[in-house]
Structure 1
Amino acid sequence: MSDPFVVIGGDAAGLSAASKCKREDPDREVVVYEQSDWISYAHCGMPYYIKGEVDALEDLLSLSPEAVESRGIDLHRRHEVLGVDPESETVRVRGPDREFEQSYGDLLVATGAHALTAPIDGTDLDDVFTMHHMHAAAAVRAFLAPPGEEVDAFDAGYVDVDVEAYHSRDPPETVAIVGGGYVGVEMAEAFRARGLETHLYQRSDRPVPPFGAAVGDQVAETLADAGVDLHLGTAVTGLEGNGRIERVEAADGAVDVDLALVGIGIRPNTELVADTAVACGDSGAIVTDEYGHTTVDGIYAAGDCAEMDHVVTGEPDWVPLGLTANRAGRAIGQTVAGDPEPVGEIAGTAVLKAFDLECGRTGLVDHDAAREAGFTPVSETVTAGSRSGYYPGSADTTVTLVADRDSGRLLGGTIAGEDRAAIRIDTLATALDGGLTVAELERLDLAYAPPFSPVWDPVLVAAKVLGGQLDEA
């Protein structure tokens, strides 16, 4: 065939696109190149595998290589794409045995992102991990397992670390987490569940900054109550040891540790298109239009390496999340098959579990970001019960709403609580997608029954309070 659809990257965006294209156009040749052994795996599940709530590493795979190939997709693992030539419409590929050119009719760049370690010194020491790949998850789980506990070594031959060697060592007793974002908080729970003395370092004054002050304060309190030693407003200056990690040096002093996890963020993998006319935005991710198309004809981008338009600002943004990647990939696959489908907009909707505390966020939460986008932000934070007060199980639910003072439009919000709080963020995400004002949010006909919600859901209570402030303006 003369016009294969070539996909670079075999995870969420890449395989969603490949599968959708093949389903819609069975005669189209679809080729996927993945530089590792792993495809279609759940990054988000790794902390829960390490904690022990997920039994086997294999359980984190969404699709096996055999399942992909059964769909008629030509999958090549352990094949690294070295370069893209838009003029000849080819990519240069290095496989285990040879290097070759592959032509394409359409090309999807779905190369994901990589974990940051700079500018922290010592991240190359043994027993320092970034939780961005399954190899690290396998190693940490084995290291933490006490002698005699069976360890899933995943016998498909994918893991490139010596799992048994980690398991044969004495388990660590003290661990340092550098970074209090999603991964840091989730891994703090996993480490505490394994009985480790856990130190969490965060440069800013609160963990999970994208969730705002109200949620960040509650997360900090929850972590402290669970026995996590918090070092907030504290920069780590280096990791030290003789071959292996032995201590963390920070602004508040040194702590001896047996294991360190660095989770200070990720950056998009765009080096592959650096020498082409494919443009990258201010975020460093690839610029795309409403159909995922880049600035070069025939080349698309999706997932953690690509920007998408924000539903509130209408401007390009980079929010690397799983649903975003899957949805964009699926839309691009349909477009390439001949039926154009927009990739949709993003709101940065995310949820987080910190022990028993559930947290959610969506839209513009930070006032400075809202002002930069041309809005005049105003916000209110309220706490209300999650169920009718007389019904067992009710818990405080804290809701923060942010709106534009001039138009009354809802800009974003956060939620935290212990009783089904996180899922309530979907109401706010839907309201953002519909461009609702706070008054319109307050008038939503949300469901009520004592086991599920009070008559006035916490989201509606927050809308009432914020609406009153807007009325006074």
Structure 2
Amino acid sequence: MRRTSGGKWERLVVVGGDAAGMSAASRARRLKGPEELEITAFERGRFSSYSACGIPYWVGGAVADRDALVARTPEEHRERAIDLRMRTEVTEIDVAAGRVRARDLSTGAQTWTGYDKLVIATGARPVRPPIPGIDAPGVHGVQTLDDGQALLDALEEIEGRDGRRAVVVGAGYIGVEMAEALMRRGYTVTLVDRREQPMATLDPDMGALVRGALDDLGVTTVSGAEVVGILTGDDGRARGVAVKDAEYPADVVVLGIGVRPETGLARAAGLPLGVYGGLLTDLSMRVRGCGNIWAGGDCVEVLDLVSGRERHIALGTHANKHGQVIGANVAGGYGTFPGVVGTAVSKVCDLEIARTGLREKDAQAVGLKYVTATIEATNSAGYYPGAAPMTVKMLAERRTGRLLGVQIVGREGAGKRVDVAATALTAGMTVEQLTALDLGYAPPFSPVWDPVLVAARRAAAAVRDAG
């Protein structure tokens, strides 16, 4: 340990150079200068501080330039006295000795770096089921900017061919967004999913609305189909996807099956993991039982404020908040991350899809008795030009009327309405209280009774009817 005229000097090591890791590093640097805190960060990819959520829109052409997704380059971090080492993978964490081992992916050279404080922000990895052909050329995940670039390079190789076909495996957020992106590039798209309805983050009745919209858009949706293999040609490249009773030809295959926490390093180091494989932290994002190790982003599990249980939710919004909290704490300040309610929003062409809180299966899993209410409304006054349909489903606790969850499917203006419900969930409001919210109204934006309030009234009536 070195000392300077200013007092104690410490070294912070950050594993992972994207949202959580570099937000933590940047926040810590704002609070402490390099004469007090040396910061070294390792990133195995080629890009830092980027928006992975924007990859489908970049692939589809809505975002023209890859660099638009990069919030801060490695050079910009280094200008702020953060030693960010790209294409360098941490391969071991030695908790007892307070050091990490890293390998330069260009040269293969390995070095040990000591730390006083450690931040683990290793993210998540795409699910790749152990089926024949899954690692064949032409099969792409879209978790990182490197993944997105590899997919675009592959698409450019087959650009201009007639009858281009794509198969997307998995009909969650990434799957449906990638289906739209590939359609925009002129591909005939087949979406294959093992569940009966797309968007498993919704209840099946709401997922059916998404399927209807996908059908209208021309996407072939194959539900209840487990992929058993990736078909390959004589050159070894992917040429299609096989399910139990059918085959679907493809020039490119995109995986949107979901992600799992990337916690192999943490597991090997003996750090505590939860039921989903994510690191467990306290409210300060400090790894439980570890005085000088913090973790954030897609590699952690967080408290669900509605169910009271830990969940794994991979979203950039959470990762950036985690980083801000961690950065404050490692620099001697104070911050907490209290938890989440599980809010997410997406779109397929002009269809907006949103959810927050618990689904029916989630409520059942934690033993909550509940009622539901589903209403159909419009996104603006019915007489206003362009008024479009919207469906809102609401769950409330049967005994107390506490709001448990909301799902919304509709056109323009539908998705962000979920923020009203997310706020109400965070505040622990009942559906009766929700009906009294003073929301903005004008015919271009809403009917006199906003659809969220209409659903709340219906849910409050269901609570009363249930006794």
TM-score (norm 1): 0.92
Partner-residue secondary structure (3-state), 2:347 = strand
Do residues 29 (structure 1) and 38 (structure 2) align?
yes
Q: What are the residue-to-residue correspondences of 1:47-446 with 2, within 5 Å?
A: 47-95=56-104, 96-97=106-107, 98-145=109-156, 166=157, 170=161, 173-242=164-233, 243-295=236-288, 296-365=290-359, 367-446=360-439
Match of 1:5 in 2: 12
Q: Give the aligned length.
A: 452
1:333-354 deviations in whole A, cap 9, x for unaligned?
0011111200231111100101
Distance 2:323 2:433 in 1: 33
4+ aligned runs moved over 3 Å, structure 1? 142-145, 167-172
Distance 1:256 1:470 in 2: 50
1:10-52 deviations in whole A, cap 9, x for unaligned?
0000011000011012232121111122111111111111111
Q: Is the 8 A contact 1:203 1:233 kept in 2?
A: yes
Q: Is the 8 A contact 2:424 2:434 kept in 1?
A: yes
Q: Is the 8 A contact 2:92 2:269 kept in 1?
A: no
Partner-residue secondary structure (3-state), 2:268 = coil
Question: Which piece of structure 1 moves more, 30-39 or 318-327?
Answer: 30-39
1:403-455 deviations in whole A, cap 9, x for unaligned?
11011110111111112100000001101110001111111111111111112
Alpha-carbon distance, 1:170 to partner: 4.3
Q: Is the 8 A contact 1:144 1:171 kept in 2?
A: no
Distance 1:310 1:369 in 2: 11
1:121-179 deviations in whole A, cap 9, x for unaligned?
2112221111122233223334434xxxxxxxxxxxxxxxxxxxx36884771111111
Partner-residue secondary structure (3-state), 1:290 = coil
Q: Is the 8 A contact 2:47 2:146 kept in 1?
A: no
Sort the Cα spacing of 1:246 and 1:142 in 2 relative to 1 into closer, same or farther, 3 A.
same
1:82-105 deviations in whole A, cap 9, x for unaligned?
111121111112224532221111
Letter in 1 for 2:222: H
Letter in 2 for 1:134: L
Match of 1:19 in 2: 26
Alpha-carbon distance, 1:393 to partner: 2.2
Partner-residue secondary structure (3-state), 1:305 = coil
Q: Is the 8 A contact 2:171 2:193 kept in 1?
A: yes
Alpha-carbon distance, 1:184 to partner: 1.0
Question: Which piece of structure 1 moves more, 102-111 or 385-394?
Answer: 385-394
Distance 1:170 1:380 in 2: 48
Q: Is the 8 A contact 2:46 2:146 kept in 1?
A: no
Distance 1:14 1:136 in 2: 19
Alpha-carbon distance, 1:112 to partner: 0.5
Partner-residue secondary structure (3-state), 2:464 = helix
1:385-407 deviations in whole A, cap 9, x for unaligned?
21122222221111111111011
Q: Is the 8 A contact 1:332 1:343 kept in 2?
A: no
Letter in 2 for 1:355: C
TM-score (norm 2): 0.93
Q: Structure 2 unaligned segments of length 5 or more: list them.
A: 3-8
Partner-residue secondary structure (3-state), 1:230 = strand
Q: Is the 8 A contact 1:90 1:102 kept in 2?
A: yes
Distance 2:311 2:245 in 1: 35
Computed over aligned residues only, the root mean square deviation of the Cα atoms, in angstroms, reads 1.6
Q: Is the 8 A contact 1:115 1:267 kept in 2?
A: yes
Percent identity, aligned pairs only?
Answer: 38
